[in-house]
Amino acid sequence: MMLSIEDLEGSKDKTITYRVEEEIDGINAKGPIKADLTFKSLGDFVEVQGKIKGTVLLECDLCLKEYEYNFDFEINELYAKQALIESSEESGQEFEIKEGQFVIDLNGANEIDIYDLLYQSVILNLPNKKVCGINCKGKDKFSQEEEISDPRMDIFKRIKIEI
């Protein structure tokens, strides 16, 4: 799904709103990913604001079991219509990027790929450490009930430490 910059410029208030409810390739989602996005032309930039929510299936880093992860987050992105470095050099103006804000350079392209925007936003908002629950102990190689059967380790069973 592509958004044409020309259509955005010709729209009322230079704003287009999209409601997306789709499966996205590369994301193991349980059901469609839902997004309400508003694209607004700001001269040299296109601002995208919206909310994305859905459920993905992740693998726990500790116990390796698959679990559901629900996400619901807001996005605020900027797309530069022309090369950002070139335009700032020509005009002599500096452009400040605020905390948490990214500017994506369209390099003269006349369309924005909405699926790519959704894919990147979901991937970047997944947790770094994927854990199925707060009480996950992980996949123990040796449980407490299980005895170590290596006879070389018997010496350690007989060690007594006095303090």
Could you tell me which residues come within 8 angstroms of residue 40 by beta carbon, excluding any fewer than 6 positions away? 13, 14, 15, 46, 47, 48, 49
pLDDT digits (tens, 9 = 90+) for 67-111: 999 999 999 988 887 755 444 455 555 555 555 455 666 666 788
Sign of torsion over alpha carbons 102, 34, 115, 19? negative
Flag whether the pTM goes above 0.75.
no
* Token pair listed for 3: 């958004």
Beta bridge partners of 37: 18, 50
Residue indicated by tokens 């698959």: 66
pLDDT digits (tens, 9 = 90+) for 8-45: 888 889 999 999 998 989 999 999 999 999 999 888 88
